Amino acid sequence: MEFLILLGTPLLGAMTLGLLGERRWAPEANVGFSLLTFLAACALTSRVVAHGNLLVAREQFFIDAFNVFLVTLTAFVGFTTALFSRPYMRIELMHGRVSTAQLRLYHSMYQLFTATMLIALTTNNMGLMWVAMEAATLSTVLLVTLYRTPASLEAGWKYFILCGVGISQALFGTILLYFAAEKILGSAGVSALLWTHLNSVKDQLEPAVLGLAFVFLLVGYGTKVGLAPLHNWLPDAHAEGPTPISAVLSGLLLNVAMYAVVRCKVLVEGSLHSSLPGRMLMGFGLLSVVLAAFFLWRQRDVKRLFAYSSIEHMGIIAFAFGMGGPVANFAALLHMTVHSLTKSSIFFAVGHATQKAGSQLMDNIRGLITLSPTVGWGLMMGTLAILGTPPFGVFASEFLILTTAMKQQPWATPILLLALGVAFAAIFGRVQSMVFGSTTAKRLPHPPALVPVFAHLGLVLTLGFFIPPYLADWYRAAARLIGGE
C-alpha cells in the first residue's frame, strides 16, 4: 500500500501538473506531491525496518536494506528541493527567463523524474532498471534546455547523446546478463532478470560472460554516475539547467546510477570470485577524483565548480565500493547520504546567490554575507561540510574511507589525500571571496527558501557527531548485502 502511494504519487503529480501546471498554485502543488511521496517513503521505511524485506507485484519490485535508505533519501531531497524551487522559479518567471508554459513542463517533468528514480531504485528487474534509468535521462533533457540559451541547448544535446550512448552499453550488458542467467534459471517466465533470483544463483553464472557484461554495465551506468573519462556531460548539464535541477541531478541521480553499478557488482563478484570488478571500480573512482580535483582550478562558473566537486565525490564513493569489505561499504553508503544532503544544500545556497548577483560567474558574485547573511553562511557552511572539515558527516565518511584505504590499498592513500587537498584549496579560496567582500546587488522580490539549506546541513552535522543506532544497523545490513553475504 505504502509502495503504491510512493510510486503513484509522483506519476499522478506529473499528470496533474502537466495538465494544470499553468495555475498559480502549481509550485505549491509540486511541494504537496513531493511531501506525500516523502511521507509514503517514511511509512515504507518503518515497515521494512519492522518486518524485513518486501517483494511486491509478482516480485517485480522489492525493498531491502540497501535500497530502502536510498528511497527515503531520494524522497526527502526531492521534497526539500521542491520547497527551494518554489520561490526560485517564481523569481525566474519574474526575470522573464522562463514562461508559464515552460514552468508547466518544468513541474510536470520534476515529478516524472522523481518517479523514474524511485522506480529505478525499487525495481527487482534489471531490465526495468535500465528502462527507468533511460527514462530519468529523457525526463531531464528538456529541463536542462529550459532556458533555451545556446549554451543550455549544447549542454542538453551533450547530455542526451552521451548518456544515450552510455546507457546503450548498459543495455548490452543487461542482455549479456540475461544470456548468462537464462542458462541457469530458464527463459520461461521472467525470473531470469530478477535481481533476487540472480543473486541466489550468482555463483553458477558463467564468469566469462559476466565479466564482459560488467565492463559494459560499468561503462554504461558509469557514464550516468559521471565517472571520468565519461563525465563530460555532467558539468555542462549542471551549469546550464535551472538550479533546482542541478541539485537533484547531483544529489540524487548520481546516487541512483551508483546504486545500479553496485547492484551489478554484487552479482558479478559472486560469479567471478575475483576482485576484478572491485579493481575496475577503484580505477575509475581514483581517476575521477584526481581529474576532478585538478579541473576544479580552472572553473569560473560557480555551478560548474560544484559539478566537478560532485564528480570528485562520486569517484571517492566508487573507490570505496571498489575496495569492498564491511567498513568500506559502510563508509561509501554514509558518504552517499552526506554528499547528497550537502551538495543539494550548496546548490540551494548557490541558486539564491546567483539570482542575487544576476550571474553565475564567480568573479561577479561578491559580498554574500552583507547581502544576505543566511545565504552567505549557508554557502560557507555547506562548502566547509563538503570539503570534509571535522564536525560534519562528510569528514566521518572520508575518514573511514581513508583509514580503510591505508589498510587495504596503501598505494592509493597519498593520491586520495593529495586530490582532497587540491580540491580543498581550489574550492575554499573561491567561496571565501564570494561570501566576504563588498557588493552593490539589490534585494530580491521573494524571500529565499533557506529552511532546506539549514535542514540538510543540520542533518549532515548530526551525522558527523552521532549516527542513530537504527540508521547504523541499517547501513551495516546494507554493507553486508553488498559484501555478498
Binding status of residue 164 toward another protein by CB under 8 A = yes
Site for another protein contains 434 (CB under 8 A)? no
Query: Closer to another protein at the Cβ: 263 or 339?
Result: 263
Q: For the chain, how big is the Rg over CA atoms in Å?
A: 21
Binding-site size for another protein (CB under 8 A) equals: 49
Q: Which of 26, 31, 77, 141 binds another protein (CB under 8 A)?
A: 141
Q: Which is nearer to another protein, 298 or 446 (CB)?
A: 298
Q: Are 455 and 374 in contact (CB under 8 A)?
A: no
The answer, yes or no, to whether the previous bond of 277 is cis (omega within 30 of 0) is no
Q: How far is the CB of 458 from another protein (least distance, A)?
A: 35
Residue 187 φ then ψ, to 5°:
-90, -10
**115 phi, psi to nearest 5 deg:** -60, -45
d(CA 323, CA 334): 15
d(CA 138, CA 131): 11
151 sits near another protein (criterion: CB under 8 A): yes
What is the distance between the alpha carbons of residues 304 and 403, in angstroms, rounded to a whole number? 30
Omega cis (within 30) before 229? yes
Q: Phi-psi category of 79—alpha, beta or left, where left has phi over 0 and alpha has psi -120 to 50?
A: alpha
- Residue 192 near another protein by CB under 8 A: yes
For residue 361, state whether it binds another protein (rule: CB under 8 A). Answer: no
Among 27, 78, 87, 156, binds another protein (CB under 8 A): 156
Question: Does the footprint of another protein cover residue 295 (CB under 8 A)?
Answer: yes
Q: How far is the CB of 124 from another protein (least distance, A)?
A: 12
Picking from 264, 289, 245, the residue whose alpha carbon sits closest to that of residue 178 is: 264
Contacts of 87 (CB under 8 A, 6+ apart): 446, 447, 448, 449
Taking residues 236 to 255 in sequence order and writing x for each that binds another protein by CB under 8 A, - otherwise, the string is: x---x---------------
By beta-carbon proximity to another protein, the closer residue of 158 and 352 is: 158
- Measured CA to CA, the distance from residue 104 to residue 101 in angstroms comes to 5
> Site mask, another protein, residues 58-97, x = CB under 8 A?
--x-------------------------------------
Q: Does 183 bind another protein (CB under 8 A)?
A: yes
Nearest approach in angstroms of CB 239 to another protein is 8
At position 32, the amino acid (one-letter code) is G
- For another protein, which stretch binds (CB under 8 A), given 185-193, 391-399, 440-448, 472-480? 185-193
Let me know: does 260 contact 221? Beta carbons within 8 Å. yes
- Using CB under 8 A, list all residues that contact another protein: 60, 125, 127-128, 130-131, 134-135, 138, 141-142, 145, 148-151, 153-158, 160-161, 164-165, 168, 171-172, 174-176, 178-179, 182-183, 187, 190, 192-193, 206, 208-209, 212, 236, 240, 295, 298, 300
